């Protein structure tokens, strides 16, 4: 027994699946990638125990409020694993967090990411972080830090999870308040460019399992390969949201994510008010009809699973509707007046 112990190979953390040396070697590279997003308020940069950010913006605000949001990319990552394309999911990660906090009129300040992975591979990690940095640039936020966890006992070979946290700031008086919404106000839709990062569990089952479609196949009605469509990064609406809140009286802004319009729009409505939407007033990307037909999915199930072409919803006074709509169209967001607010049980009804 003693002889066996003496001759046994020495175990290391790397042999157990955790490559500390590679992780440490990646830190300077991550730091250089993040540097392109850093504002003058970032202190220290990536590599410390915590990320530090000066709140100089508070000096110009009477009642500053910090707004935070956290989310993950979800099972859209399964498409990245299958295709070996990891350069856009970082944008999705930022979008899923930032698009929530801007609904409170917050200006994004900084972002942190979390990568949980089975076996750390330099190429994949760098692609992910470059995507996160690109998302931060689009959001006007600084990438101030993150964490990479190597957990081979949790993740399957070649798979990982990607999540993040965004923090923004807003003057308290500028936060939209649901009670200001009145019957007769208009609902304006900002276009979605596709599925964004929601509904992929159902979409994969329909398209890849039932429909037996191939990710590399070009789908005529989509005008691209299935992989290109499904990996299309989620738009980051931070810039246009800032413009809307700065130029118009926006009474409510809702990010249409998991749960679709029926679950997300009511989050900004007061009790006793409902949104009545009329179908056909906004463009529905063809990917949704493809999913509906192959999966034989009811319209109700489509509504409560996907965004169906509506990325965000703004609520404005009737007198401001045409001006807001025209502004969004000029800015390329396909703004359409798709319904109105009326009295009734809080929720969404379709006509």
Question: Both 203 and 338 in a single domain?
Answer: yes
Given 112, 140, 174, the domain boundary residue is 174
Question: Both 205 and 87 in a single domain?
Answer: no
Helices (H), the chain: 2-7, 20-35, 77-83, 89-101, 122-139, 200-204, 226-230, 238-247, 260-264, 286-295, 299-303, 321-330
Would you state the pLDDT for residue 15? 85
Q: What is the CATH number of the domain that holds 260?
A: 3.90.650.10
Q: What residues contact 123, with CB distance under 8 A and at least 6 apart?
A: none
Residue 67 phi/psi, 5-degree rounding, is -125, 130
Would you state the pLDDT for residue 191? 95
Q: Which domain holds residue 96?
A: 2-174
Number of domains observed in the structure of the chain: 2
Find tokens 């070649």 and name the residue. Answer: 158
Question: Both 268 and 343 in a single domain?
Answer: yes
Would you state the pLDDT for residue 56? 81
Would you state the pLDDT for residue 226? 98
Tell me how far apart the 2 most distant CA atoms of the chain are, in Å.
88
Given 174, 205, 224, the domain boundary residue is 174
Q: How many CB atoms lie within 10 A of CB 281?
A: 13
Q: What is the CATH number of the domain that holds 166?
A: 3.30.1330.10
Angle value at C-alpha 70, between 316 and 74, nearest 5 degrees: 100
Instruction: Write down the pTM of the prediction.
Output: 0.93
Question: Both 146 and 187 in a single domain?
Answer: no
Angle value at C-alpha 134, between 128 and 136, nearest 5 degrees: 105
Cα distance between residue 239 and residue 135, in whole Å: 12
pLDDT in tens, 312-330: 999 999 999 999 999 999 9
All residue ranges of the chain with pLDDT < 70 are: 1-8, 57
DSSP result, 314-339: EEE-GGGHHHHHHHHHHTTS--EEEE
Would you state the pLDDT for residue 16? 85
């Amino acid at each position: 027994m003693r002889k066996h112990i003496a001759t046994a190979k020495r175990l290391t953390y790397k042999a157990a699946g955790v490559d500390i040396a590679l992780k440490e070697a990646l830190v300077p590279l991550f730091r250089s990638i993040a540097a392109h997003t850093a504002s003058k308020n970032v202190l220290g940069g990536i590599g410390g125990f915590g990320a530090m950010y000066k709140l100089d913006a508070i000096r110009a605000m009477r009642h500053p409020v910090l707004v935070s949001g956290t989310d993950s990319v979800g099972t859209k990552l399964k498409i990245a694993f299958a295709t070996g394309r990891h350069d856009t999911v970082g944008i999705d990660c930022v979008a899923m967090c930032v698009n929530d906090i801007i609904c409170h009129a917050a200006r994004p300040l900084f972002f942190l990411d979390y990568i949980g992975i089975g076996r750390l591979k330099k190429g994949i990690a760098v692609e992910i972080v470059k995507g996160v940095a690109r998302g931060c640039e689009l959001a006007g936020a600084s990438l101030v830090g993150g964490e990479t966890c190597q957990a081979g006992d949790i993740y399957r070979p070649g798979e990982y999870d990607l999540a993040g946290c965004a923090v923004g700031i807003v003057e308290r008086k500028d936060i939209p308040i649901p009670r200001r919404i009145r019957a007769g106000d208009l609902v304006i839709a900002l276009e979605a460019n596709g599925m964004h990062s929601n509904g992929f569990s159902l979409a994969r089952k329909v398209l890849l399992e039932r429909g037996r479609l191939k990710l590399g196949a070009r789908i005529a009605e989509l005008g691209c390969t299935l992989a290109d469509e499904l990996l299309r990064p989620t738009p980051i609406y931070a810039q246009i949201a800032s413009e809307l809140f700065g130029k118009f009286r926006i009474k409510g802004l809702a990010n249409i994510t998991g749960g679709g319009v029926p679950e997300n729009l009511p989050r900004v409505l007061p009790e006793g008010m409902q949104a009545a939407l009329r179908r056909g007033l906004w463009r529905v990307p063809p990917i949704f009809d493809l999913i509906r037909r192959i999966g034989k999915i009811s319209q109700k199930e489509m509504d409560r699973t996907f965004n169906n072409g509506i990325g965000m919803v703004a609520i404005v006074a009737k007198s401001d509707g045409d001006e807001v709509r025209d502004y969004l169209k000029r800015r390329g967001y396909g703004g359409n007046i798709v319904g109105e607010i009326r009295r009734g049980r809080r929720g969404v009804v379709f006509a």
